[in-house]
Amino acid sequence: MKIGIMGGTFDPIHNAHLIIPRCAKERFKLDKVVFMPGGNPPHKPGVTDKRLRLQMTRLAAGNEFDVCAYEVEKEEYSYTLKTLEYLTAKYPGNEFFFIIGEDSLRDITKWYRPREILRLCTLLVFPRESRETLARLIEKTKSELGGRIFAIDAPVFNVSSSEIRRRVRNGESIDAFVPPSVAEFIKANNLYAEVTALNNGEIISRLKETLGEKRFIHTMGVAETARKLAERFGADAEKAYLAGLLHDCAKSMKTHEQLKKCAELGVELDEYSKLCPPVIHAPLGAETAKREYGVSDEEILNAIRRHTVAGKNMTLLDKIIYTADMIEPSRDFEGVGLLRSLAETDIEKAFFESVKQSILFNIKENKIVHPASLESYNESAPKYKNKT
């Protein structure tokens, strides 16, 4: 059998994702096409919950296509090579065709072991920019990686998941871009709508009621500063603003209340966090943002989760929230001027110095230094060794 695999994050699935396998099936005489939603895509942090994406994929596929939950059921990163190894072992004697768009092919050299992927399947590629650019890209990729790569001869179909998310956020219709069942699902589950101005307004009113005056002023300062840093350094400014707004949303509770709520909500605390109560509001804040403020974006939730102790492999958004929390206008401590001036031009250095100052402060006060902060410091320190 000739089996097409249509892999994707599908956040959300849209009409191009359906047209592409239809064209591929017809032109390459495939026996069937299976949709493979990615559970934990290595290249896209902060995507919508995998089960919701799987459900949308199933709705869109209807009776026309199969949907395989293999990647969704795994906890590890969804590497295409691993999926193809699984499929070829489980269904021997079949020929596999992996179906992607031109933009995916452009990135494929950065995927996990692309040469081996091309040994296990034929790539079928749908144009995204133009037929001509795709033809050139296919030649270039074949000369770099070898293997069988073919263009699906079809016109460009200009729709993207990010455009759909943008439209939902702005209250615009998505009916022309996704199947009706997917549009209904997005609406029913309130997906992609959390960063609208109205929701931000509601969040601000609620924070005003729950946080004390000083913390509310600090929170607004962090949100505004995070937005500016995101604009300056190329992160998503709306996500930064929302993460800034909610970073301290669980901080007004007393420690015993925070611990009780962590237990109720299943927020796991490591041994150091238990010894160091001021950090608890970060993981609890992420869970509160999710459950009480309706935030589903993992990128935002992670930035909230990591804003007190930092850690290894911080994303740009994580670093922005951490730094904004240190430098927002109402902060006044020795050293804040240096952090503010670094944050004008270099977010990496501003973040590194912020972590360093925080560690030094804790040491000076004989307080526990969470190992995640040290890991974060150690990760960047070699870059700045012997440099002021």
Q: How far apart are CB 127 and ligand DND at their closest, in Å? A: 7
Which is nearer to ligand DND, 32 or 367 (by Cβ)?
Answer: 32
Which two structure tokens, joined as six digits, stand for 62? 């209807």
Q: How far apart are CB 143 and ligand DND at their closest, in Å? A: 21
Q: How far apart are CB 181 and ligand DND at their closest, in Å? A: 17
Coil vs helix vs strand at 249: coil
Which is nearer to ligand DND, 128 or 356 (by Cβ)?
Answer: 128
Q: Which residue has the tokens 């089960």?
A: 51
Which is nearer to ligand DND, 78 or 288 (by Cβ)?
Answer: 78
Which is nearer to ligand DND, 7 or 179 (by Cβ)?
Answer: 7
Q: How far apart are CB 120 and ligand DND at their closest, in Å? A: 12
By the 10 Å C-beta count (0-12 exposed, 13-18 middle, 19+ buried), 312 is classed as: exposed
Q: From CA 187, how far away is CA 175, in angstroms rounded?
A: 11
Which is nearer to ligand DND, 26 or 344 (by Cβ)?
Answer: 26
The dihedral over CA atoms of 329, 334, 335, 338, expressed in degrees to the nearest 10, equals: 60
Coil vs helix vs strand at 387: coil
| Binding positions for ligand DND, rule: CB under 6 A | 7-10, 16-17, 20, 36, 38, 41-44, 78-81, 100-101, 103-104, 111-112, 126, 128, 157, 159-161
The dihedral over CA atoms of 269, 308, 302, 205, expressed in degrees to the nearest 10, equals: 110
Three-state secondary structure string covering 113-138:
CHHHHHHHCEEEEECCCCHHHHHHHH
- Tell me if 247 sits within 8 A of 222, measured CB to CB: yes
By the 10 Å C-beta count (0-12 exposed, 13-18 middle, 19+ buried), 13 is classed as: buried
Which is nearer to ligand DND, 137 or 235 (by Cβ)?
Answer: 137
Which is nearer to ligand DND, 160 or 196 (by Cβ)?
Answer: 160
Q: How far apart are CB 164 and ligand DND at their closest, in Å? A: 10
By the 10 Å C-beta count (0-12 exposed, 13-18 middle, 19+ buried), 303 is classed as: buried
The C-alpha R_g of the chain, in whole angstroms, comes to 23
